[in-house]
Amino acid sequence: MGPFRLSAGDGGRIEVASKRGQALIATLAVSRGGDRTRSWLQERLWGSRQQPQAQASLRRELSNLRRIVNGPHGTLIDADHNRVWIELDRVEVADLSPRASGEFLEGLDIQGEEAFEDWLREQRRAIEARLERDAIGQVRLPETIIDLSKPVPGFAGRPAIAVLPLNNLTGDDALAYLADGISEELSEGLARLKWLPVIARSASFLYRGREIELRQIGAALGARYIVEGSLRRSRDILRLGLQMADVETGLSVWSHTIDIPLAFTQAMLDELIREIVGVMDMRIDAAEKTRASSRAPDRMDVDDLIWRGRWHLHRFTREDSELAESCFREALALAPNSAEALIQLTFFHARSIWAERKEEGRMRELRALAQRAMVADGEDGRGFMYAGMAELWMRQTQKALALFDKAVELNPSLSLAHAQIGSAHILRDAPAAAEAPLRLALRLGPNDEHNFYVLGELAVAHYMMGQWDRAIDHADQSLLRRTAYWYAHTTKINALIEKGEIEEAQFAARHLMQAKPDFSPRFVDWLPFSDPRWNDRLKSGLRRAGIG
């Protein structure tokens, strides 16, 4: 407690002048296991810098600290490619009991590094809570229990989620750091969704190992959704089991078991977290839309209107689209500065432009609305994604890719943004580059209602590469999810023509006209390929199959 101080075994003071050096030592010393990933340290201590600069700064700081604290009697701080650690058996953290005076790391602030400030606040709260818990001998629930059927103060009516610490059931205490690390990174990944408030780790971790009903924990924390799980060991693998429950209904919303090799890397864990967050996003989204659809119209607030609008929008009918727009506009009228209402209205316009092949003027309107959303919340990747979609449809592919890249930087689990990156590569005549982001989109959102579009894009990419059978297969998968999707029909017909299967192509053409009676080859002219010969080629295949 009090200001940072590092002392040698003989009591002599070891001077660490750099504030980031002090912070680095402190974060390692109080972490379970004494280690942190390089990416974790870079984000908190050099998060205001570009990634290459942050990586170089961490290397320099480690080099300086090694010279200061490592000596002839052994190594105190060391690192490998992924992790940085401190030898905990050579470190004693100063007294954190009620006898100690001052505040944890008193006076230590790093200008511009908000992530470090957030971590420091969480540590101070956790220390205060631990001292209170030790004083009373047990964790106490708040005197006032939150009614989860009503909006939680400070969350603007949005549902919140809490990630409890994973139970380390491996039988190996050395793996406790991994269980906690997965919990922490899962919380951080969910926080990037922006629309979903995440309860602070310092509050959630107070319930480690406590036999308390999830509903009580949810009421105490103000969380509608609780994530819990365990880490087990089975021979040469680690088995991660996760479950997400709606504590208001008591029902499990999602559960999954994932095997992790013992020789895992940080990159593997990053990809795992990204995919888990993507799936959770979709499951909570679906649950909240269902909840809003059953609520009486005269009881709806801004948040209810947004969720009701999303429910209508994903029913894919003209009438529901009109009702969705009405809900979003009403929500925006009630809360003109609501970033979420702006984002959902922007999404409505994007869907409308794509479905109805609207003119460039509407695309410029979409771009302006997306820019308003970006200003309302510059940390939400969705605004950047919708702005990128407008640029893409106006054939500004490089601008679009830059915006999509920013969207996934802000939210690596934003599946639709990864799919849009794939679409941009297709439209700029680089289909081979499209497959990886499109398949990542499917992994991030395996049950997303937009997967008909993603599978359709994979069909187009394979068609452009001359892989006719794979194009037909993906087009069929797309059409299983949305029978009237004319673009997938068009791709399948053209792939059959290229294979020389004219009768099958003609049959597929009749199927298209049955599913989409108003279809015309003019629809193809709207597709914003950078090389218009692709538009001509697709229309030629339709003519050979008997359309147009």
pLDDT digits (tens, 9 = 90+) for 258-285: 999 988 888 888 899 999 999 999 888 8
- Predicted local distance difference test score (pLDDT) of residue 343: 93
Q: What pLDDT is attached to residue 485?
A: 96
Q: How far apart are CA 455 and CA 442, in angstroms?
A: 8
**Closest alpha carbon to 326 in 308, 353, 339:** 308
Domain ranges for the chain: 19-136, 161-268, 295-411, 429-548
The CA dihedral of 97, 103, 104, 110, to the nearest 10 degrees, is 180
Q: Which of 111-120, 125-134, 137-146, 231-240 has the highest mean pLDDT?
A: 231-240
Q: Which CATH superfamily is domain 161-268 in?
A: ABC-type transport auxiliary lipoprotein component (3.40.50.10610)
pLDDT digits (tens, 9 = 90+) for 483-509: 999 999 999 999 999 999 999 999 999
pLDDT tens string 55-83: 999 999 998 888 888 876 678 898 888 88
* pLDDT attached to residue 3: 82
Q: Tell me which of 2.60.120.10, 2.40.110.10, 1.20.1070.10, 1.25.40.10 is the CATH number of domain 429-548.
A: 1.25.40.10
Superfamily of domain 295-411: Tetratricopeptide repeat domain (1.25.40.10)
Cα–Cα distance list, 429 to 397, 463, 490 (Å): 11, 12, 18
Helix (H) or strand (E) holding 287: helix 266-293
Q: Pick 450 or 234 by higher pLDDT.
A: 450
Q: What is the mean pLDDT of residues 82-102?
A: 69
Of 47-51, 150-154, 318-322, the range with the lowest mean pLDDT is: 150-154
193-210 pLDDT tens trace:
888 888 877 778 888 877
Return mean pLDDT, the chain: 86
> How confident is residue 143, by pLDDT bands cut at 50, 70 and 90?
very low
What pLDDT, on the 0 to 100 scale, is given for residue 48? 85
- Read out DSSP for 302-362? HHHHHHHHHHHHTT--HHHHHHHHHHHHHHHHH-TT-HHHHHHHHHHHHHHHHHHT--HHH
Six token digits for residue 298: 């005269």
Q: Does the global pTM surpass 0.75?
A: no
For residues 264 and 237, the answer to whether their CB atoms sit within 8 Å is: no
Q: Which of 61-70, 132-141, 314-323, 420-429 has the lowest mean pLDDT?
A: 132-141
Q: What value does the mean pLDDT take over residues 395-416? A: 94
pLDDT band at 299; cut points 50, 70, 90: low
For residue range 320-366, what is the model confidence (pLDDT) as tens digits?
889 999 999 999 999 888 888 999 999 999 999 998 889 999 999 99
- Sheet of 35-37: strand order equals 35-37, 83-86, 77-79
| pLDDT class of 182 with cuts at 50, 70, 90 | very high
pLDDT of residue 111: 83
Which tokens sit at 158? 């949005």
pLDDT of 508 reads 97
What pLDDT is stored for residue 395 in this prediction? 96
**Do the first three CATH levels of 161-268 and 429-548 match, i.e. the same topology?**
no
Choice between 181 and 209, residue whose per-residue pLDDT is larger: 181
Please tell me which residue, 141 or 184, carries the higher pLDDT value. Answer: 184
